[in-house]
Homo-oligomer: A and B are copies of this chain.
Amino acid sequence: MTRQRIIEKAAPLFNQRGFSGCSMQDVMEATGLEKGGLYRHFKSKQELAIEALRYALSATNDAHFVDLSTFSSATEKMLYLVARFIEVPSPLPGGCPLLNTAIDADDSNPALRAVAQQGLSGWKLRLEKIVQDGIVSGEISAQIEPRRVANAFIATLEGSLVVSRLEGKRTAMRDAQKTLEIMIKSLRSGG
């Protein structure tokens, strides 16, 4: 279907250049369609951008959250998630769409923001669930607050992306990985 093809071509552009930095002209060139062809499928640039973000979010989610059922331990799941996040390259150019949208659509464009919020919320809930399950199983100390761990986990990962991006090298990501590994291991009861 053409609509889907447009979304797939537009997603990396919006992700790399931001909403106002990516023009419909850019999308035209990427898809080979004309203005009219685009507006046939999306009533506005905004609508296209939202669909593109949704697509980008689910694509990166698919890349990071693979089947974790092979791991029985909560901390092993978390260690695996960190490793994947750090090692698996972003499936779409421009890096984490959550991060990009958080900054790009700060005040303007609340619709885009809402989609990103939803994506973040989903990610966080999954993490909290893992920690919570670890507590229930006795693997993780009951003192630990799942929300705090999830927040710190995501913050460290996303922040390392920011630093790496600015520096143009992956050192900060590897340092974040190592730090998170220590943090995760320290969650273990009596750890």
Identity of the chain B residue whose Cβ is nearest the Cβ of A154 in the assembled complex: B163
Query: Quick check: is A74 within 8 A (CB to CB) of the other chain?
Result: no
Which chain A residues (37-65) contact chain B, with CB distance < 8 Å?
none
Contacts of A176 in B (CB 8 A): 151-152, 155
B159 touching A113, Cβ below 8 Å: no
Q: Which of A3-11, A28-36, A94-102, A131-139 contacts B (4 or more CB under 8 A)?
A: A94-102
A residues lining the B interface (CB < 8 Å): 16-18, 20-21, 94-95, 98-104, 106-108, 113, 116-117, 120, 145, 147-149, 151-152, 154-163, 165-167, 171-172, 175-176, 178-179, 182-183, 186
Supply 26 A–B pairs (Cβ within 8 Å), ascending by A. Answer: A16-B106, A16-B107, A18-B20, A18-B104, A20-B21, A95-B106, A99-B103, A101-B166, A102-B165, A103-B103, A106-B165, A148-B175, A151-B171, A151-B176, A152-B160, A152-B179, A155-B157, A155-B163, A155-B175, A156-B156, A157-B159, A158-B159, A159-B159, A159-B160, A182-B183, A182-B186
